Amino acid sequence: MAKFNQQLISFLVFSALIFGSGGQLMAMTEAEELEIGKQAHQQILQQYRIYNNQNLQKYVQFVGQKLAAKSSRPHLDYSFLILDSEEVNAFALPGGYIYLTRGLMAYLNSEAELAAVLGHEIGHVAARHAAKQESASEMANLGTKLAAILGALYVPGLNPNVSSDLLGVGSNALLKGYGRDQELEADTLGAEYLVKSSYDTQAMLDVITTLKNQENYEYKLARLEGRAPRIYHGLFATHPSSDKRLQEAVATAGKVVTDDPVYAGNDTYLNLINGLNFGTDVRQGIVIDSNYYHGPLGYAVRFPDSWSVDNKANAVIARNKIDSALIQISYMSADRRLTPKDYMLKRLGLNGLREQQDLTINNLPAHTGQVIVNSPYGRRLARVTVIYFGSRAIILSSATKDSGGINRFDLVFLETARSFRPMSRQERMAAGQQRIRLIRADENTTYKSLAENSPLHNLAEEQLRLLNDDYPVGEIKAGEMVKIVQ
């Protein structure tokens, strides 16, 4: 149930970057920078899975270290890790901790493009951009805000301190870029590292174009799916590869003369990402056409049509389009000595239940009722349902922004709870992990035919073009290697 947590990463870095007093800014020492990066790195490891592919991890580490050795801070102990996230992103912490997601790697098509992404992030570290963002006064609430970001979930009776505006200090800078000048500097430095490492600097422009196309596609897909777009940061977020200053910077870097031949590494890269997990990690649940499937736990539930679904680390939350109502699914260990009703009373502490009833939902014992709880909207009358499923108590918690809105949505809340079911064999097959696969195209291979046989649901043809650097209207040539999703 995880989603790439932009709020956490932004906050981890920018709430502890500059130390000073009296309103004056004072840049941190390198020792302080290293300590902050070390602490933030541990938080990242606690919050996110590292992608489980040692060959790919070693490959990214190799490419990253080769580039870092050409930077102005080669003495740092750089770390390069792939995060197991579908989000398209890469970022750097102070001190040389650099991360990219498997989601981003799916859209790259060569080692040179991978090097361009890593070089950009190394550029941020080398130029110490993070250490120029915030003041000491904004560091004071680090512990409180970090705890809120990590822990804010709506579980009635258990967690009264629910969501607020958790963006906190410097929330947008890291994931959405440092500003045009610093992003340009990172790209310029990255281009220098590319040429010094025998990669073509054109890869910097190519990857910017690819990720700008991905951004355009993501906006289109997000509108179709009724959710907010998830966008990678960087200069290309607002400036295309045709940006004059960027073109000049890359051209200047490309004039550096080296003795080694230029290396692209297309085949090496593509062979290594063959089998790469694509899309949502099914271990955390997946949404297909309003149905939420949790393969490892073996259950499914149908949310109302057009509601957006936010798949978090230990809960899944669905909201209607105007965010006036939500349904959250979480779970705890069941206590079979208690009925579902007693579980709500004794384990969840939900006193004052009304409009309650025992239920049997797809042969599973359950109890539901309305009760006043602390919700993300404040103190509200909510609908809570507990379903015993194996060794777990599944908790569906539903609330409305309007204090009197429960009557308008209560039937929807109950219908969602009643849709809870063990997954069928067909559902397990449909909700399997999607992966990137390579095929050799023949004269009959087209994006249209590939899309028709793809597990991708929305904009499949455009998605495949994007993965293969043929967006928006390119076509496949016979004999070339093509990325598909299976």
pLDDT in tens, 329-358: 999 999 999 999 999 999 999 999 999 999
Whether the Cβ atoms of residue 365 and residue 340 lie closer than 8 Å to each other: yes
- Write the CB contacts of 395 (distance below 8 Å, at least 6 apart in sequence): 155, 156, 328, 329, 330, 331, 332, 348, 384, 385, 386
Does CATH place domain 436-485 in 1.10.287?
A: no
What is the model's pTM?
0.76
C-alpha span between 283 and 85 (Å, rounded): 12
Return residue ranges of the chain for CATH 3.10.350. 436-485
- Helices 460-467 and 202-225 pack at an angle, to 10 degrees, of 160
The answer, yes or no, to whether residue 122 has pLDDT greater than 60, is: yes
Which pLDDT does position 26 carry in this prediction?
A: 45
Mean pLDDT value across residues 225-236:
67
Residue 27 has pLDDT above 80, yes or no: no
Helix axes 111-126, 180-196, angle to 10 degrees: 120
* Position 176 pLDDT exceeds 60: no
Tokens of 474: 């390119």
| Whole-number pLDDT of residue 239 | 52
pLDDT of residue 298: 95
pLDDT > 90 fraction of the chain, expressed in percent and rounded: 57
Among the listed residues 155, 168, 430, the one whose alpha carbon sits nearest the alpha carbon of residue 314: 155
What is the domain class of 282-428 according to CATH? Answer: alpha beta
List, for residues 389-436, the tens digit of each pLDDT value: 999 999 999 999 998 899 999 999 999 999 999 999 999 988 889 999
Interval 147-156: pLDDT, tens: 433 333 344 4
Specify the DSSP element, H or E, that contains 206: helix 202-225
What's the pLDDT score for residue 299?
Answer: 97
Binned at pLDDT 50, 70 and 90, residue 366 comes out as very high
Mean pLDDT of 220-224: 88
Spatial separation of the C-alpha atoms in residues 257 and 7, rounded to whole Å: 42
Confidence grade of residue 16 (pLDDT, cut at 50, 70, 90): very low
Q: Where in the chain is the domain with CATH 3.40.1000.10?
A: 282-428
Residue 394 and residue 386: Cα distance in Å, rounded?
6
